[in-house]
Amino acid sequence: MKDSMDSTAVGRALEPDFSNRKLIRPSLSRPDHARSEQLQERRERTERPSNGAGKKAPPAEQTHAENFYYQKQMQAKTPMVFVLQDGEELHGVIEWYDKSCLKIVRNTGANLLIYKPSIKYIYKESEK
């Protein structure tokens, strides 16, 4: 019995006593510009919405490539051919466009307003 009591006393003596320790914290009261920038960046990173751990954000819905193409053709007044879903071909120049339609100026007939869903494809008249 005496041996078992000595082993527990030795075990307690080897354990460090952390109850008296004081934490040392640096004072953040001095104005350190670089430090404040780092803290600001850290706050901004934590405020960002995350899509999950380590996942990439999905690609943008709108690339604006279609708008860029229309703008370029409008500025150059490029003669275009519009092939509709039923196979009809319309020749003209794009005057303006919006989300759902194109306004086509034609030399041979009246100007047209064409809904984008009715267009099968478009190409430059000089390409064919």
Residue 109 banded pLDDT, cuts 50, 70, 90: confident
Name the residue with higher pLDDT: 68 or 63.
68
pLDDT mean over 103-124: 94
Name the residue with higher pLDDT: 84 or 61.
84
The percent of residues in the chain predicted with pLDDT above 90, rounded, is: 44
Domains and CATH numbers, the chain: 79-127 (2.30.30.100)
Q: What pLDDT digit, counting tens, does each position of 22-31 carry? A: 777 766 666 5
H or E element, residue 3: helix 2-14
Position 17 scores a pLDDT of 65
Residue 71 banded pLDDT, cuts 50, 70, 90: very high
